[in-house]
Chain A
């Protein structure tokens, strides 16, 4: 089934942009589950998810629900003063779950700051996910333990890291791949364009996974691009797909296609997952100031969780027992997340020097020496840090 009803976001312009989108190959939106929960067939992509059993579909549903719950709990924790900031992913669950669950353990993930659902599915410790948002550490985990880098705050910079890493895979002759997550706004960044040039030139095993959530903070995607974002990948000579990002199965199929190509030496792929950021950019943002609530209502009807629920219902799989097991899981994850957050010990003053360089560095050692002596000059070194920080 091929549809093209996801729209281009932004409601302030009356003019219809769609005519501008038909140039070139034309990327039709890949969809396998309709918003109403109907499983529709797609000759090209069906084979890639043929192995997804009922049981796996149930497990995908559980991840979608748990990820949303993590997001809601973290948002509440921010409102309660336990986190400094949180970037909600509400509405983007399917893009994140569908893509990360297509990866192998030896593939490497380069996320932006919003991929907290990816981190959960990848097995990152719940407390570690929150560590950086609580201002407790500069990075929450050791990337090599889960093969996932820590969140990149600088927009799009991770695409360069991912391209370099993928060149390394190439040099190693391995058959693993890298995936890099970024948003619609990042496609306007120089870094991202440079990364795409290099990735295509060297034909590296990398998946450019762009979650087009329609808003770069307050900037609608139509201001960023007069073509579908997938066409940008084509412009760099990469095979590109445009997929319904609220359809977990379609995202999975597209990611598998891209990974398979990467492993077989076919080079990078660009995936535009068309989704929608239903919440604010971060907890410090108020989207009602710049976007039309009608748009939100339209997207609520395309909810990624609702459609899997409906599909499971049609299949007779959405039993009371299943529903309560998912709820129990989500509750326990939320509890664990909260407990881990509020019980997190404060970092030590000198922790700031850890993890700057992987090898000893005399210049940094000197700074650390000076700073520790400075701290030692106070009666209560820890108190000094607090007061310094408060100033």
Chain B
């Protein structure tokens, strides 16, 4: 059989007991022909970002969810047009073993179905509002347990089907009524108000006693307004006022945003930050940059102010190695790195990331420039690998690209220093005892004051500034 058919693929539970996942990206488009197990999407769960291999070989006919959407497990996310026997799936075999009824199997990887209709009728619970009807039909040995069918009196039973009420074989006196159904906060409210829940009639599903039931029971006789307000406020966050448009948008904190936040909080509240600023006339550095760009040695390479600042920082670090170290709280040791893995803060599609260039101190200016280009392009494409994100020893953040001059950057956790480079601006500046229009940049350096004293931080910043103000200083420092 070669007839084609449309198959939907529903989002499986990719971890253990997950209820939803976010589509990070699609690796295919509608109309693409895909093979079995070809990666079709990247999905972020609460546990991991995982790749989804195609369950079928065929043609993509629809992508039901956009990237960035959080999808409930079990919802269709993609449709395929497949041959009758495509995907290596023995369709015939699968069909032959499927039960004849229209029953939808709960696929193993799909976890629990949250909402379901037509649920089977379960044994009715006994409520105070609907007293249990217990008939001691049997006084013999416990073994019998013969079910007795009784008509339903109340409760949430949608169908008219009878409810099976297994009869307790114990004497009536010892039958314990279940306590009225309610939730812990409601029980607390009732207790606070001195209400016995047994006296309250529940109006919620299955006779559940709600907060309102308790309040109504108390009636007008003095529910302290003071206690009502905070309870209501805590229970339900205020939503948008209808008809006025949404006044606030709530986005769950997760993924990279959550990790970034945790890293920032941990860094900000464990490492005492000091930030120093230095504004430098970088005209000579910019002139050098222009000369290098036009020269043959750097043909094809992308030279930017960041390239020079990074190189200058690496040179200055040689004389101020303290800034390239780590406070190891666990072992009560200061780890001095004898290499530099230079982190560069990058805005990526998945949020802020600080990939680093390994052994950056060993690179020539040309190599450094190539490494920076590769790093930023990889980050922008969202393809930064985990190896690039770990093991950094010091970082640079280029806030100048946003037209910003200075800031107080927060340390990348585990590092002793971070440099923010500001925008290069033409400003009136002192030059050879005159006022001249010069290219000026502000450098902001934050450092971990546990490791780095003001003297060391200041010397590093001054060396860096000297190099940018007069690149010839490199000869003196090399």
Contacts and interface: CB of A to CB of B under 8 A. Distances in A.
Interface in B274-330: 328
B108 interface: yes
A338 B99 CA distance: 20
Shortest Cβ-Cβ A-B pairs, 3 listed: A81-B12, A286-B48, A81-B109
B113 A390 contact: yes
A390 B106 contact: yes
A292 B47 CA distance: 17
B89 A292 contact: no
A334 B53 CA distance: 14
B328 A14 contact: yes
Interface string A1-40: 0000000000001110000000000000000000000000
B401 to A, nearest CB: 28
B335 A391 contact: no
A335 B110 CA distance: 23
6 contacts: A76-B53, A80-B12, A81-B109, A293-B388, A339-B90, A380-B120
A197 interface: no
B331 A15 contact: yes
B112 A391 contact: yes
B16 A284 contact: yes
Interface size of B as a range: 35 or more
Nearest to B105: A346
B145 A370 contact: yes
Contact of A386 (B10, B97, B103): B103
A360 interface: no
A237 interface: no
Contacts of B97: 343-345
Interface of A: 13-15, 72-73, 76, 78-85, 134-136, 280, 282-286, 288-289, 292-294, 296-297, 334-335, 338-339, 342-346, 366, 370, 373-374, 377-380, 382-384, 386-391
B50 A79 contact: yes
Given A14-B328, A387-B120, A81 B88 contact: no
Nearest to A295: B387
Contacts of B388: 293
A76 B331 contact: no
A335 B335 CA distance: 52
A81 B108 contact: yes
A282 B50 CA distance: 12
B14 A79 contact: yes
B234 interface: no
Main secondary structure of the interface of B (DSSP, over half): loop
Contacts of B328: 14
A284 B47 contact: yes
A369 to B, nearest CB: 9
B103 A382 contact: yes
B204 interface: no
B253 interface: no
A205 to B, nearest CB: 38
Interface string B1-25: 0000000011111111000000000
Given A15-B331, A79-B51, A346-B99, 11 more contacts: A14-B335, A72-B37, A76-B37, A81-B10, A83-B109, A134-B108, A288-B48, A343-B90, A343-B94, A386-B106, A390-B112
B109 A286 contact: no
Contacts of A384: 120
Contacts of A390: 106, 112-113, 116
Contacts of A84: 13, 16, 108-109
Given A14-B335, A81-B10, A297-B387, A338 B88 contact: yes
A87 to B, nearest CB: 12
B455 interface: no
Given A84-B108, A373-B147, A293 B47 contact: no
Interface in B351-400: 385-388, 390-391
Nearest to B113: A390
Given A78-B109, A284-B16, A342-B94, A293 B390 contact: yes
Interface string B88-102: 111001100101010
Contacts of B11: 81
B99 A382 contact: yes
B101 A380 contact: yes
Question: Could you say which of A13, A280, A387, A388 has the most chain B C-beta atoms within 10 Å of its C-beta?
Answer: A387
Nearest to A292: B390
A136 B109 CA distance: 12
B28 interface: no
A294 B88 contact: no
A293 B333 CA distance: 24
Contacts of A343: 90, 93-94, 97
Contacts of A72: 37
B223 interface: no
Contacts of B109: 78, 80-84
Interface string B161-180: 10010000000000000000
Given A294-B391, A386-B105, A387-B119, A377 B147 contact: yes
B18 to A, nearest CB: 8
Contacts of A373: 145, 147
Contact of A339 (B93, B335, B387): B93
A342 B95 CA distance: 10
Given A76-B37, A370-B145, A280 B103 contact: no
Contacts of A15: 331
Contacts of A283: 14-15, 50
A383 B120 contact: yes
A345 to B, nearest CB: 4
B143 interface: yes
A366 B90 contact: no
B55 interface: yes
Interface string B463-476: 00000000000000
Residue among A82, A84, A289, A334 with the most chain B CB within 10 A? Answer: A84
Nearest to A389: B106
A81 B48 contact: no
Nearest to A377: B164
B30 interface: no
